[in-house]
Every structure is written in C-alpha cells, then in structure tokens.
Structure 1
C-alpha cells in the first residue's frame, strides 16, 4: 500500500507533468539509445549497450517510484483547514528566541520544498516541530546544533 502524501493543486500538477515527460520523452529516448548501441555489434563487449540498458533500468525505477507517489497523492482543500493551528500549507511567521530573527515559511509536501522561496517540508525538523502549534506557542525544535526555540507569531493560508 502506498503512503498518502498531501500536495497543493499546483504541486500535484507539476508532479504529473514530470511523470508524463519521463514516459513520453525520456522512455522513447532510452529505447532508441539501446537500439543504436545494439546496432554497433557484439553485445558481450559493448559498454555502450550496457550503459544504455542500465540508464533504462534507472529510468523505469524512477517512473515506478513517481507512479507510486501519485497513487497516494491527495490535494489539500485549503478552505477546510483550521486557521488556528499550524498544518500542511500553513504560512507561519516565527521568531527565533535567541537572535530575534523573524522568518516566514510555508509548510508543504517534501517534493514541493524550496527554501529559497520559503517553502519547507512538513517532514523537516522545523516543519515537524511547528505542526499543531498555535499563535503564541513556543516550538522547541531539536536540530543538529541543539535545541532551537521559536515563537509562533502568525498563521495564515
């Protein structure tokens, strides 16, 4: 049974597009590469053929993994989410108690995480530490360098 994971509509669309690209563009190219290598002669001593077969195997494994992820993917209905607690897709403004720095993060699925745009995974240490917290709560999060404490300042969608 596949693991259920939650995505935004945009994130799920991007995942489907990537899978379609692998199936419609990369798979035929891998088959063509194998055919070209096969035409070069003796397969027992053909490194190009072995490399093409291995690349095809890796591609098929990636396609299979993405199909498994998509079979358990669910789109989150943001209108039904509780705005009083930090959940997936919450936009959270936090303040580091030690240095006073304020940051705003959006908690997203692992495949949508992009720290440059302020999107962190709900499975990351900070993401897990923020889940379920409300405005005014303090999140104590274990990170490799020790325990960090963040005040929850604001939660939005």
Structure 2
C-alpha cells in the first residue's frame, strides 16, 4: 500500500521538524523523569502517576512516528505552483461572510497544517474544498456540520514568507 503524500508549506515543514526535535528531546526527557519519579513511589500496579506517564510516553511515540511519516512523504508547495487568480493550495484568500459581513483571510494548507484559529484552512475541510479553483468575486455556498455558510471571495494573493525563508 502506497504512503499518502503530504503537501506542506515551507513554514509547515519547519514547524514539523521543530516539533519532532522537541518531542524527541524535551518531551521524551520530561516523560522519562515522570516515569522515574512514579517508580520511586513503589508498587506500580495501582500507581496513577506511572500509568499517566506511560500513556504520555505512548502518545509521544505515536506522534513522533506520525511526524516522521509525514516528513518522509512530504512535498513542499513551491511558490510557482500557487495561483494568483484562483484559490489554490499555498495561496491566501480573503473571504467575506455574506451573512455577517465579516472578512477573514486564510492561508489554504494541507490537512497537517490546518489551524483555523490562526488563519490556516485545510484544502480538505468543507470550506477549503469548496474554495479550491474558485476566482475573485465568486460566491461559494458550503454545507458544514453547523449549517450552510456563504462566502464571497474578495481577494486571492501569495502570502509572504510562507514558501521560502523570506519573512
């Protein structure tokens, strides 16, 4: 079975490398200290601190494996692939909510980088998928778990510092 390909911005790739390094060093050391302290309490069969630290260790190892898999199969979204006329992966889009009039800017990213609260919208989310390929001025209606949403695309641009080291 072929591994899934992951498309990441340059920033997303760097963030994953940093998270991996942090998990392999600081987080793993913190968990090792917690396990050591929990063992010092004696009987580990009914030791909640030991159980929690063991679960944290397993969670950390799972996330390390996930990140390594993503990085092994990652493709960086190159600036030249980002459309300036259509919503595309790696591009930035300014939307106006047609109901409230509120405007929000989003960077369209792969699912591994999604963070809606920080302006990063996955191309696999209902809204992101509906926006891909659309042009400035178009109105998009999206059925989401919270109901129908209607957005007008106000602008499409190439964000600075996302696809290379230029901040």
Q: Is the structural similarity TM-score above 0.5?
A: yes
CA distance in 2, matches of 1:148, 1:44: 52
Match of 2:39 in 1: 38
> How much does 1:123 deviate?
2.3
Aligned residue-pair number:
157
SS in 1 for 2:54: helix
The alpha-carbon distance between structure 1 residues 34 and 83, as it changes in their structure 2 partners (threshold 3 A), is: same
Q: As a proportion of its length, which structure holds more helix?
A: 1
CA contact (8 A) 2:83 2:91 kept: no
Deviation by residue 1:74-131 (Cα, 9 ceiling, x = unmatched):
2110123232211112111233344444433221233433444433222222111101
Q: Is residue 70 from structure 1 mapped to residue 80 from structure 2 by the alignment?
A: no
SS of structure 1 residue aligned to 2:42: coil
Counterpart residue number, 2:137: 136
Measured in 2, the distance between the counterparts of 1:8 and 1:48 equals 39
Stretches of structure 1 that go unaligned for 5 or more consecutive residues are none
Name the CA distance, whole Å, in 2 between partners of 1:45 and 1:97: 56
Alignment of 1:1-150 (within 5 A): 1-150=2-151
Q: Distance in 2 between matches of 1:9 and 1:111?
A: 13
Structure with greater Cα Rg:
1
Q: 1:145 to 1:63 in 2, by over 3 A?
A: closer
Residues 67-76 or 11-20, more deviating: 67-76
Q: How many angstroms apart in 2 are the aligned matches of 1:45 and 1:152?
A: 57
Give deviations 1:48-87, integer Å, cap 9, x for gaps. Answer: 3333323222221221122222222221101232322111
User: Displacement of 1:46 after TM fit?
Assistant: 4.0
Alignment RMSD (CA, Å): 2.4
